[in-house]
Amino acid sequence: MTPATPTLRVERAIWSEGRIVIACDEVGRGALAGPVAIGAAVMAPRPGRPRVLPGLRDSKLIPEARRAEVAQRAGQWVDASAIGWASSAEIDEVGIMRALGRAAHRALAGLREQGVPIRDALVILDGNHDYISATDPLECDVRTIVKADRDCASAAAASVLAKVARDALMVELHDSAPVYVWDRNKGYASEAHRSAIIEHGISAHHRASWAITGAPTLF
């Protein structure tokens, strides 16, 4: 089956209101190790009927071998982008939802530093819970959309940018603790990862507050 192609239908409706779009999507929420990352992608109103970037999909639907190339093109296609992070220690300290909110605000701060007028935007947030406003209110509206990363081109761009950035970080972290095979599982609960935790215990990059020794395979 051919993966669903995202559209700009939602974005065009927001542009018609005179607002820019900032799409946010998370990566790493279900991992056992490593940070969570929030990708934020900006699309200002575009004339006519702009086309969706060829090959753009929700990052989970793009073959791993092609993700970096699609992310590179997506970064040029959107008007601005940023990645926000929250560490495994923060996840242990405040919980996953508040950590996601912190990471999102850091991504948005990165956009502010690039001169993006957040006040003039509407934020599309993938999912059904507004963890951004719950963490700290924004000066603009946030609209949650279930499967936004599948259906909205801006959110698909945010998704692949965050996925590639986080995967690259986990490959770097692999060298510090190769027994967990993060270069392959990216911190998710593969069989090899869980077996290494049982044999060696957890590292400083694991989410120690999670019951991870019995975690199901998620990746």
pLDDT digits (tens, 9 = 90+) for 4-56: 799 999 999 999 999 999 999 999 999 999 999 999 999 999 988 899 999 99
Closest to 95 measured CA to CA, from 139, 129, 118, 125: 129
Domain ranges of the chain: 9-169
Closest to 103 measured CA to CA, from 157, 29, 188, 20: 29
CB 119 within 8 A of CB 139: yes
pLDDT at residue 3 above 80? no
CB 42 within 8 A of CB 116: yes
- Taking 3-state DSSP, the helix, strand and coil percentages for the chain, each rounded to the nearest 5, stand at 45, 15, 35
Amino acid of residue 37? A
Q: Which two tokens stand for residue 93?
A: 């300290």
Q: pLDDT > 70: what percent of the chain?
A: 95
Q: Name the class of domain 9-169.
A: alpha beta
pLDDT digits (tens, 9 = 90+) for 81-120: 999 999 999 999 999 999 999 999 999 999 999 999 999 9
Q: How far apart are CA 38 and CA 85, in angstroms?
A: 6
Q: Which two tokens stand for residue 52?
A: 């969706």
pLDDT digits (tens, 9 = 90+) for 120-173: 999 999 999 999 999 999 999 999 999 999 999 999 999 999 999 999 999 999
The 8-class DSSP code of residue 79 comes to S
Assign 211 a pLDDT band (cuts: 50, 70, 90). Answer: low
Mean pLDDT on 171-193: 95
DSSP SS3 for 43 = strand
Which residues, 6+ apart, have CB-to-CB distance to 205 below 8 Å?
A: 33, 34, 88, 173, 176, 177, 187
| Average pLDDT taken over every residue of the chain | 93
Residue with tokens 């990352």: 37
CB 150 within 8 A of CB 6: yes
Amino acid of residue 200? H
